[in-house]
Amino acid sequence: MSALRGWKEIPIAGIPFEPAVKYKTGDWRVFRPVIDNEKCIKCGLCWMFCPDSSIIWDGDNFPTVDYEHCKGCGICAHECPTKAIEMVRG
Amino acid sequence: MAETKWVPNIRQIAKEMHERGFTGITPGHRLCAGCVAGTIVRQVMMAARKPVVVINATGCLEVATTIFPYTAWQVPWAHNAFENAAAVASGVERAQAKLIRDKRFEGDPDIEMDYDIVVFGGDGGTYDIGLQALSGAMERGHKFMYVLYDNEAYMNTGIQRSGSTPFGAWTTTTPAGKVIPGKPVGKKPLVDIIAAHRIPYVATVSPYYWNDALVKFRKGFEADGPVFIRAFSTCNRGWYNAPEESIAISRLAVETCVFPLYEVVNGVEWRLSPPSLAIAKNPEKKKPVEEYLKTQRRFRHMFEPENRWMIKRFQEMVDYEWELLLERAGLKG
């Protein structure tokens, strides 16, 4: 008998099984966003517009940045109404 | 169609999502830095009222979020070919109805049968390849929401023109040079085509106007029947815009009326949304298209002296569509 698994045992389609959070996209980055809490008014726009879900915000406290996944696109700094986010090299 | 009373509150949404640890699409997906498709998916998930099942046509979003063995989706998700996204969603919707009717999983604590179906498709999979499946599903009246993220070319395969590419844009198959100055024809009026199916709800959204977008997505979830939403999605690789300006361009597209925001109820009732309605009421607020065109290098050749006529032509096309829209919305005269 063959040691290979039959059609009943193998997955019915290609199934990606690892959560993507394990893949760190932070090393794509050239500039990193740094939030100045003195200027931040907690409007949440950086959180709303971040395409990478890399602004972590609970709705009450100051937002923080997930540097393991932030790709450094700079949307948050560009859209911040009080210019509280600065893009810093490295 | 029942009007939603929901008013999105950014703090409350953030709080709820933070507590649940749910963003719909997790960090670690490999969309380009500054790609607004991720923002659009997040906004759809913010507007969701029930669990969501996602059907994803082939395209940038599908390829970049599920590179084996990683998946960025926190919801049940199915990938399918370019042409059959709407057909797969139709099947899922019918299977859901059948299982509920047969009470197959009733009382099973592990299985939730009360969910909404969302389809994400790019413009290639919607304007061109998937149009017949989409049209069929709209005609049969399956209840799902089709979200088109419109980045105006086949970006995933290397920036080839699609039915959505605007007039004059550079792509690899309409290169701007001595023979032709970019794409010689304009966009296919897809929203008109879909609205002509007389489906309950059709809308256009721009991620910059998140409030408007969230309300429209919620209306889409609540509608009883097929829903089509066209979302403006910049592509910094294909449009050659600065990644950080992606959201600002989404705003500029609305302010120049290149991408007006409106909704169509039951295929006949055309309504402008607040950002575009403000322009309709104060026409001096409408910005010239140059401001939009100069943010993207795909239109760079239009600023050469011999190609200046193209900007004029682009403006005429935008004005024509805008006047047509005003007429439909009953705001003319």
Closest chain B residue to the Cα of A77, Cα to Cα? B244
Structure confidence by residue, pLDDT tens digits, B245-281: 999 999 999 999 999 999 999 999 999 999 999 999 9
pLDDT at A8: 80
pLDDT: is B154 or B332 the higher one? B154
pLDDT at A13: 73
Copy the structure tokens of residue B45: 């998930």
Asked if B216 contacts B229 with a C-beta cutoff of 8 angstroms, the reply is yes
Asked if B18 contacts B46 with a C-beta cutoff of 8 angstroms, the reply is no
**Cα separation, B125 vs B141, whole angstroms:** 20
| B3 pLDDT above the threshold of 90 | no
Structure confidence by residue, pLDDT tens digits, B164-211: 999 999 999 999 999 999 999 999 999 999 999 999 999 999 999 999
Q: Is B66 exposed, middle or buried (0-12, 13-18, 19+ CB in 10 A)?
A: buried
- Residue A57 touches partner B, C-beta closer than 8 Å: yes
pLDDT at B2: 56
Residue B194, C-beta contacts closer than 8 angstroms, at least 6 positions apart = B134, B138, B202, B228
- Report the residue from A14, A68, A78 with minimal CB separation from B245: A78
Structure confidence by residue, pLDDT tens digits, B67-115: 988 999 999 999 999 999 999 999 999 999 999 999 998 888 888 999 9
Burial A39-60 (b: 16+ CB within 10 A, else e): eeebbbbbbbbbbbbbbbbbbe
Q: Which segments of chain A have a pLDDT < 50?
A: none
Asked if B162 contacts B124 with a C-beta cutoff of 8 angstroms, the reply is yes
| B217 pLDDT above the threshold of 90 | yes
Asked if A87 contacts A72 with a C-beta cutoff of 8 angstroms, the reply is yes
Query: Identity (one letter) of the amino acid at A21?
Result: V
d(CA A35, nearest CA chain B) in Å: 16
Closest chain A residue to the Cα of B35, Cα to Cα? A51
ipTM of the complex: 0.91
Region of B294 on the Ramachandran plot (φ > 0 left; ψ -120 to 50 alpha; else beta): alpha
pLDDT at B240: 95
Q: Does B247 contact A20 at a Cβ distance shorter than 8 Å?
A: no
Q: Are strands A55-56 and A64-65 parallel, antiparallel or unpaired?
A: antiparallel
- Please give the CATH architecture assigned to the domain spanning B10-328: 3-Layer(aba) Sandwich (3.40)
Query: Identity (one letter) of the amino acid at B85?
Result: A
d(CA A10, nearest CA chain B) in Å: 16
User: What are the structural domains, with CATH classification, of chain A?
Assistant: 31-89 (3.30.70.20)
Residue A32, C-beta contacts closer than 8 angstroms, at least 6 positions apart = A65, A67, A70, A72, A87, A88, A89, A90
Percent of chain B's residues with pLDDT above 90: 93
Q: Summarize the confidence of residues B324-330 as an average pLDDT.
A: 95
Quote the mean pLDDT of chain A.
90
Chain A environment of B19 (Cβ under 8 Å): 58
Structure confidence by residue, pLDDT tens digits, B10-34: 999 999 999 999 999 999 999 999 9
Q: Does A52 contact B36 at a Cβ distance shorter than 8 Å?
A: no
- Residue B81 touches partner A, C-beta closer than 8 Å: no
